[in-house]
Structure 1
Amino acid sequence: MKARPTIADLASTAKVSISTVNRILNGSSSVKPRTIERVQKAAEEIGFYGRGVIEDRQRNARPSYCFGFLLQQSTRELYRLFGSSIVNACQRRSGEKVEALVEFVDVLSPENIANRLDALGEKCDAVSVIAGDHPLIGQTIHSLKLRGKPTVAYITDQSAPDRAGYVGTDNWKLGRTAAWFLAQTAQSPGRVAVFIGNHRYQCQDVSDASFRSYMREHAPHIQIDDSRPTHEEPEEAHRIVSQLLSELDDLRGIFIIGGGISGVLRALREAAPERRDKVKVVCRDLGPETRKGLTEGLITAALCHPMDRISDELVATMIASLTHRDSPAILQRIVPFETITPESV
């Protein structure tokens, strides 16, 4: 009969001292988490009888954080999906215990966002925020940094020099990709309308500029109208698209960079089939409304944030911002966007 592995066997397999194994088994706090992890893996390898105790010690030895996430518009399914994905990313962390405090801002004034961000920072070790770029928000980010609370800009960057990092997609490439789709699918010369949520969202402004850059280079037959802000409101998007469809016979495409896709789709559904079939739509992200629009053929392509991957990157960046708190570097994590078409949804 094979002898049961001993503490000495475990120490030898893990390449640590017997006293280190004893300290772990006795619950000593003087052993580094990485060492406990190595011993736990060795215990699994040799079938050590006390591996349940070691696993418990490993869980208790993990660093513990409370992170705050300030998202927008609780009424929008897309932001609720972002929130759920962030919570799941926190739960997936194996080396740390991360508590996620997700809050939504419905009043999008800079004053309200700055106040909510400041209050969230009081409760958390680090925070992230989706918001338009504004001096009031930048001042709050500065104040949080002075209090040892790093802020990571999410989805759309901030100009605040005291931000700890940014996690999002390459919005320059995204805008040019959207332009490529519309240039390839527009059936004849005409106009393209661009919708943004707000001029202060850097991600939208960069995408808008690169979209126009591509069209100037490769599609001079397409005229691009001035960007139209929807203020992230579907009703405003519906009003504008309905007006364009009734007034412009040469409307060939819509690039919607910000919120309001449900209003755009409603206006297209209300239009005559021969009218809406001439208008190609490219939008951002894959919420329920976008998915339905793709399956109906109303949307040509959706350029999306990969939820799981970008959420994992956000949490990792917030941990890194605390680990390297004294570093002057701003952490940048660019996650490739996904392209979804009616045939791949």
Structure 2
Amino acid sequence: MRTTVSQIAREAGVSPATVDRVLNDRDGVRPRTRDIVLQVARKLGYFGPLEAAAPDVTVRLDFVLPAGSNSFMRTLKKNLLEESAARGDVTATLHEIEGFDPERLSAKLIDLRHRTDGVGLVALDHPQVREAINALAASGVRIGTLVSDIPTVDKVGYVGVDNRAAGRLAGLLLGRFLPPGQHRIAVFVGSLAYRGHEEREMGVRSILSEEFPEIRIAGTAEVSDDRDRAYDETMRLLEHGDISGIYNIGSGNQGIARALREARRDRKTVFIGHDLTDATRLMLLDRTMDAVIDQNPRVEAREIVRLLASSVKGTVEPEYMPRLQVVFKENIPSN
């Protein structure tokens, strides 16, 4: 059985909440306390017994992620390489796929057969991609999905947030922030080929229907996580009616913010998005964005590396689902 947060808390002499903040790399913990918690977590085997079990085995990991200007993905890529290098028993290679292209993604996965021990990927839920993943797994490569899951493929686990819960959380924020009365909102999607984006849309629709029926989704725009397309779609929606709120499921927040400012709607439109980056941090500070639903890329990188390396070395580890955190201007964590 995997070590629990409560066990670490008892051994370290701190509260479970403190352990949770440390493991999820959140602020509010003194450096010395953080060091103690991490030391205890390692001693109790929270991160897996890899070094003790097989210190002489080097695991080859490959990570396949979308290319582009997505700030969250850039941070995730950086953390994947850093977490892999920090272990000493892992070598990591990063591959970037241009566009939402199942053929390119499938070709890359097929190319990795017999060249790697494990693959972590942010993948489209597409028949061609699913076949390539299963073929790669059948060749003996361990597969882990990251950020957006594909439930039906042969994999060792998924590391990422509950995306349906994230969508429901966004809908709750919109419902609470908007004043009483009828409202029209817009929903922006990176690509519904990502199951995570589809689940977030399902989540926001479900809670609005259940608890805020006076809020109607007037338009949904699929913008491929492109800020210029997000800008154009925002301007189009604003020109064709009064939009009280915007929920951006994926990337492209900068394009939406630019359109809201140019239309002088930045202080009148409730704007909820995802992932705390340098750009969204500034948007929170100037009140263009009202809230950011954050997932921690450093924790996700650490956990996918641990999951894959453990599986390659023969240790079964449970899936880890990082917690969602809502960030407002008033609680922006320090860099």
Aligned to 2:149, what secondary structure does the other structure show? coil
2:323 maps to which of 336, 342, 345: 336
1:109 maps to which of 84, 94, 101: 101
Q: Distance in 2 between matches of 1:170 and 1:107?
A: 24
Change in Cα spacing, 1:175 to 1:60, as seen in structure 2 (3 Å) is: closer
Structural RMSD (CA)? 2.3
Kept after mapping to 1: 8 A contact 2:190/2:222: yes
Aligned to 2:244, what secondary structure does the other structure show? strand
Change in Cα spacing, 1:58 to 1:160, as seen in structure 2 (3 Å) is: closer
2:172 maps to which of 177, 180, 183: 180
Partner of 1:167: 159
Partner of 2:71: 77
Q: Deviations over 1:26-85 (max 9, x none)?
A: xxxxxxxxxxxxxxxxxxxxxxxxxxxxxxx98994431111011112433321211111
Where structure 2 has 5 or more consecutive residues not aligned to the other structure, the ranges are 1-50
Q: Deviations over 1:163-204 (max 9, x none)?
A: 222111011221111111111111342111111111121111
Q: Does 1:200 align with 2:193?
A: yes
Q: Report percent identity of matched pairs.
A: 25
1:132 maps to which of 98, 113, 124: 124
Q: Deviations over 1:223-258 (max 9, x none)?
A: 113532112211111111011122212x11111111
Change in Cα spacing, 1:92 to 1:278, as seen in structure 2 (3 Å) is: same
Aligned to 2:224, what secondary structure does the other structure show? coil
Q: How does 1:172-321 map to 2 (within 5 A)?
A: 172-187=164-179, 188-249=181-242, 251-272=243-264, 275-321=265-311
Kept after mapping to 1: 8 A contact 2:266/2:287: no
Aligned to 1:108, what secondary structure does the other structure show? coil
Change in Cα spacing, 1:135 to 1:265, as seen in structure 2 (3 Å) is: same
CA shift, 1:271, in A, is: 1.3
Kept after mapping to 2: 8 A contact 1:207/1:257: yes
Where structure 1 has 5 or more consecutive residues not aligned to the other structure, the ranges are 1-56
Q: Distance in 2 between matches of 1:344 and 1:180?
A: 19
TM-score (normalizing by structure 2): 0.78
Q: Distance in 1 between matches of 2:133 and 2:101?
A: 16
Q: How does 1:149-160 map to 2 (within 5 A)?
A: 149-160=141-152
Count of aligned pairs = 281
CA shift, 1:130, in A, is: 0.7
Question: Which letter does structure 2 place at the counterpart of 1:297?
Answer: R
CA shift, 1:159, in A, is: 3.8
Aligned to 1:70, what secondary structure does the other structure show? strand
Q: Distance in 1 between matches of 2:219 and 2:151?
A: 24
Q: Deviations over 1:298-331 (max 9, x none)?
A: 1111111112211111111112332448x8xx95
TM-score (normalizing by structure 1): 0.76
Partner of 1:11: none
Aligned to 2:330, what secondary structure does the other structure show? coil
Kept after mapping to 2: 8 A contact 1:121/1:127: no
Q: Distance in 1 between matches of 2:65 and 2:222?
A: 20
Aligned to 1:225, what secondary structure does the other structure show? strand
Q: Does 1:92 align with 2:82?
A: no
Q: Which has the larger radius of gyration?
A: 1
Aligned to 1:127, what secondary structure does the other structure show? strand
Higher relative contact order by CA 8 Å / sep ≥ 6: 1 or 2? Answer: 2
Aligned to 1:228, what secondary structure does the other structure show? strand
Q: Distance in 1 between matches of 2:130 and 2:89?
A: 29
